[in-house]
A and B are shown apart, each in its own frame.
Chain A
Amino acid sequence: MLLELEDVSVRYRKIEAVKGISIGVGEGEIVTLIGANGAGKSTTLRAISGLERLSGGEIRLEGKRIDGSSPERIAGLGIAHVPEGRRVFPMMTVRENLEMGAYLRKDGDALRADFEDVFRRFPRLQERANQLAGTLSGGEQQMLAMGRALMSRPNVILMDEPSLGLSPIMCREIARIIRALHTEKRTIVLVEQNARLALALAQKGYVMETGRIVLEGPASDLRENDKVQHTYLGVA
């Protein structure tokens, strides 16, 4: 396993948002966490990035513990986080946002190639390279947040609700990009409320309810599961 969560708990003051979950992410896999609002999905991603402290359990990257490290250090270990609500730097240009994604890198030539790679993936960003990120549409900001994550050459990409608030066309576009990343053997942890989209993209899925994992398995099995169909896919 490339990334492992073992019995991870996160507590906000008195409320336990994540209650002892275990997740395994293999290299080149897309693993999805689905569930309702407030189930603890985002908190789980934030815990992996070091933005939340664990109240219990361990997180390991390539077998080495990373929980307790600062977000800056975890970023340096090759985990990129595409946050909920995109959170691009609004008063910086598209290009500057991408530069910030590559903040820790010092390999100039490869960096230039990666700029071109991101612009090839997201031609819209190239057109708007010198525009302030705050003036982009929601879909463009999502692309920028993904591009920013790719600029760090991550081993693992955490994506928090990439389809949230986007038009159906833009959702399909985001799905196409995630699929392309999968064919390049990128490792992705995808958090989504849109379970249909998430289970179509992922190989493995975990269903979270109030901080616990209630179901897990291959995405194809989860798609056929009665409870998942009924609760998350809206199949009567």
Chain B
Amino acid sequence: MDTVTLIQTLLNSVVASSIYALVAVGLALAFGVMKMANFAHGEFFMVGAYCVYVLYALVGLPFPLAVILAIPIVALFGLVAERLIFRPTRKNILAGFMATAGLAFILQVLAGQIWGVGIAKSIPTPYMGAADVGDATIGWQRLIVIPCAFAMLLALRFFLYRVKLGKALRACAQDPEIAALQGIRTNRMTALAMALAGASAGLAGALMAPIHSVTPYMGHGVILIAFVVVIVGGMASIEGAILAAVILGFIHTFVTTVTDNLIATMVGVGFMALTLIVRPQGLLGRERA
């Protein structure tokens, strides 16, 4: 691999890591509070991308505004999913699994019915041109993913560690019964977690819309990687999800560059298997007390 390709691949790795982190953090947060995996999380990503398609490509709003609007819209999807699916099935893991998998299909079919299946939606690239980094070049459209993801993750971190409500969310994830004894309302915290999960996945989808092909099924590939990331990081750990997103972002991008996407996915899952053998609780997960 020559220097130009190396720099190019490094930059692409950072972009991939940023998106993985955004998607996986929401999944980890929701799992931490509800102990339930949201199989429709990839569809939140898809809805985020469609928000940009509709608001930017169809309606003609400026791209940044479309991206910013995608955040509360998908957060609302998260809230509704919590109220209608997670809360009623909280005591039954199997029912919750079936319901979220069902939601994934419903959202896919809905997007397909409204905007059609078949060829991917074409979204005009809002930011043409490329930046020169050494001898390598990277499109602005990819590059802006990095600061946006960073800003979102920093805001999330600030909320969870500096704001009382965010701390209560962490308390609820660590011990819901004891959190309730402090007066923290569990239902409110699960709703909050799902809203944040929707917000971050929605942002990821919105940012990827001009780069990724926008189809009703674009959530599939993302959810697979997100689960690998969250499992490697340690199911409920936010920091673990971010660390694992960086590691897997680099693995995927480098292996894809050298070979192809399919092998990259295999290597990623292999890395997960290896992690589970060496550290079953994940990189930064803790063993259940």
Contact = CB atoms under 8 A, between A and B. Distances in A.
A140 B133 CA distance: 53
A81 to B, nearest CB: 5
A104 interface: yes
A41 B248 CA distance: 50
Interface in B155-182: 164, 167-168, 170-171, 174-175, 177-182
Given A72-B184, A99-B164, A148-B182, A89 B170 contact: yes
Nearest to B173: A91
Given A81-B181, A100-B184, A87 B168 contact: no
A16 to B, nearest CB: 22
A148 B183 CA distance: 12
Interface in B25-49: none
A51 B181 contact: yes
Given A87-B175, A90-B286, A90-B289, A103 B170 contact: no
Contacts of B183: 72, 75-76, 103-104, 152
Contacts of A152: 182-183
Given A91-B286, A99-B164, A70 B180 contact: yes
B178 A91 contact: no
Interface string A82-96: 010001011110001
Contact of B167 (A49, A70, A99): A99
Nearest to B181: A81
Nearest to B179: A100
A143 to B, nearest CB: 16
B185 interface: yes
A71 interface: yes
Given A72-B185, A99-B164, A103-B164, A92 B180 contact: no
A139 interface: no
Contacts of B180: 51, 70-72, 75
B286 to A, nearest CB: 7
A205 interface: no
A83 B178 contact: yes
Main secondary structure of the interface of B (DSSP, over half): helix
What size tier do the contact residues of chain A reach? Answer: 20 to 34
Interface in A86-139: 87, 89-92, 96, 99-101, 103-104, 134
Contacts of B186: 72
Given A99-B167, A103-B164, A92 B174 contact: yes
A83 B182 CA distance: 11
B56 to A, nearest CB: 40
Contacts of B286: 90-91, 134
Contact of B181 (A75, A90, A96, A99): A75
A87 B181 CA distance: 11
Contacts of A148: 182
Contacts of B185: 72
A14 B177 CA distance: 23
A90 B184 contact: no
Residue picked from A81, A89, A104, most chain B C-beta under 10 Å: A89
A220 B168 CA distance: 43
A148 B184 CA distance: 14
B177 A51 contact: yes
A120 to B, nearest CB: 22
A91 B181 CA distance: 18
B171 A49 contact: no
A228 to B, nearest CB: 31
B171 A89 contact: yes
Interface string B185-204: 11000000000000000000
Nearest to A73: B183
B174 A91 contact: yes
B78 to A, nearest CB: 22
A152 B170 CA distance: 19
Contacts of B171: 89, 92, 96, 100
Interface of B: 164, 167-168, 170-171, 174-175, 177-186, 286, 289
14 contacts: A51-B181, A70-B180, A75-B180, A87-B177, A89-B170, A89-B171, A90-B286, A96-B167, A99-B164, A100-B168, A100-B182, A103-B168, A104-B182, A134-B286
Interface of A: 49, 51, 70-72, 75-76, 80-81, 83, 87, 89-92, 96, 99-101, 103-104, 134, 148, 152
Nearest 4 A-B pairs (CB), nearest first? A104-B183, A75-B183, A71-B180, A103-B182
